[in-house]
Amino acid sequence: MINNRIIEVEVTEEDLQKMRADGIVEADLPPLGIKKYRSARHISKDKIVVLLDADIVEHFKKTSENDDAKFYQTRINQTLRKFIEG
């Protein structure tokens, strides 16, 4: 069963300052404000190490900056899912 619940996440300036202090680079920071997300279709994710070419990672980071609701890892997942689903 797919859960269609909407989740609201608020990122404040304080949150961003803490993330910067923790060493997170500007390109990886989430957008300021309240964003609404649907629950994920998949219940679990596996954490693995994948070595990608630097230009590939840079491409996804740059395209994610233009679409502030999606982080580059999510965009990589979406691209791979489209490929395997045909």
pLDDT, tens digit (0-9, with 9 covering 90-100), for 17-64 = 999 999 988 888 888 998 877 766 655 677 888 999 999 988 888 876
Which range of residues forms the domain containing residue 5? 1-43
**CB-based burial, 11-31: b 16+ in 10 Å, e otherwise:** eeeeebeebeeeeeeeeeeee
6, 19: one domain: yes
3-state SS class at 74: helix
34, 64: one domain: no
Q: What's residue 37's pLDDT? A: 74
Q: Work out how many domains the chain is built from and give that number.
A: 2
22, 51: one domain: no
Specify whether the CB–CB gap between 10 and 34 falls below 8 A.
yes
Please give the structure tokens belonging to residue 1: 């069963």
> In 10 A of CB 32, how many CB atoms?
13
38, 5: one domain: yes
2, 38: one domain: yes
